[in-house]
Amino acid sequence: MSDHGPGVRIPPPVMVAALLAVAWGLERIVPVRIGPPLPELGGLVIFAAIALIGWALLVMLKAGNDPRPDKPDTAMVETGPFRFSRNPIYLGFILGVAGFALRWGDLWGWVAVVASHLVLDRLVVAKEEAYLATRFGAAYEAYRGRVRRWV
């Protein structure tokens, strides 16, 4: 039997980018201001998100894993940002969307944050966790008991 990974077919960055694009469009067409735009703070949050994603990608690649969720894992990764979150890349995606929400000061950005979390949690993380539990068994269950899903 061949290992085809967790079975996530749509790349998570595409999912999140689509939600962000919809929020951006709605913000342009039907703005719902909920606060002042905070471009500097939003930029810092986006920078932190990119740094977190980059760090997690480097750790995964160093462990020999392909970071794409449609590919099988060769090793379980518990170092770097994976010591604090089982999903630091997806956490980085959500932080990035939050950075845009801060920059815009609009409700739609925050709706995209919530939607991104729900989509990633239900359509990606759930599949990955089931796959990792099957692939790595007790070692993954022990890791799951030590490290939270998000933060």
Domain boundaries, the chain: 38-146
pLDDT by residue (tens digit) across 22-62? 999 999 999 999 999 999 999 999 999 999 999 999 999 99
Helix axes 12-29, 107-119, angle to 10 degrees: 160
Q: How do residues 80-111 score in pLDDT, each as one tens digit?
A: 999 999 999 999 999 999 999 999 999 999 99
Helices (H) and strands (E) in the chain, counts: 5, 0
Give the 3-state secondary structure of 71-128. Answer: CCCCCCCCCHHHHCCCCHHHHHHHHHHHHHHHHHCEHHHHHHHHHHHHHHHHHHHHHH
pLDDT range class, residue 5, cuts 50, 70, 90:
confident
Q: Are 8 and 123 in contact (CB under 8 A)?
A: yes
Number of residues that make up the chain: 151
- Does the pLDDT at position 4 exceed 80? no
Residue 144 pLDDT class (50, 70, 90 cuts):
very high
> Is the pLDDT score of 2 beyond 50?
yes
